Amino acid sequence: MATLQIGDQAPAFTSKDQNGNTVSLNQFKGQKVVLYFYPKDDTPGCTAEACDFRDNYQGLKAKGIEVLGVSVDDEKSHQKFINKHSLPFTLLADTDKAIVEAYGVWGEKNMYGKKYMGTHRTTFVIDEAGKIEHIIAKVDTKSPTAQVLELLGK
């Protein structure tokens, strides 16, 4: 598992979004990016997190911040999740786990005593130059936007 630190260059990636379009981190040079990793579409915590970003999306955009969500779900799953909850931002389908592994968020998890591999909910704030400005390892699924804005002093 990669261990990224604040100040590191954010690992470059190219992936498909919910519509099958190719998206790469390089497209967002010159703006801040909230790159948030979440375990699974349409589960309670992930829905709360996505809906908070949805409800605050225009305010983030006004501050020059783009939001990208990443999970290992496929494009079809992302489309359903977006349509069900009217999500205005891009979700990346990391089905080959290249992005979660590059960012060090794929690893062993433990639920009810059962060990399994999965995505650790983590948010990275990437600055305009593509460097990692903040890493939020303990994400508050009910108010992730407030966590981000607090770190940015906005």
* Residue type (1 letter), 45: G
Angstrom distances, CA of residue 152 to CA of 7, 50, 57, 72, 113: 14, 19, 15, 28, 37
Residue 1, pLDDT score: 46
10, 34 Cβ separation under 8 angstroms: no
Q: Catalytic one among 33, 46, 87, 105?
A: 46
Pairing of strands 90-93, 65-71: parallel
Average pLDDT, the chain: 95
Domains recognised in the chain with CATH numbers: 30-152 (3.40.30.10)
> pLDDT, tens digit, for every residue of 50-78?
999 999 999 999 999 999 999 999 999 99
Pairing of strands 90-93, 14-17: antiparallel
> Using CA atoms, how far apart are residues 39 and 29, in angstroms rounded to an integer?
26
pTM (predicted TM-score): 0.95
Q: Is 46 a catalytic residue?
A: yes
> pLDDT, tens digit, for every residue of 83-110?
999 999 999 999 999 999 999 999 999 8
> Using CA atoms, how far apart are residues 154 and 135, in angstroms rounded to an integer?
16
- The residue ranking higher by pLDDT, 2 or 125, is 125
> Using CA atoms, how far apart are residues 32 and 44, in angstroms rounded to an integer?
27
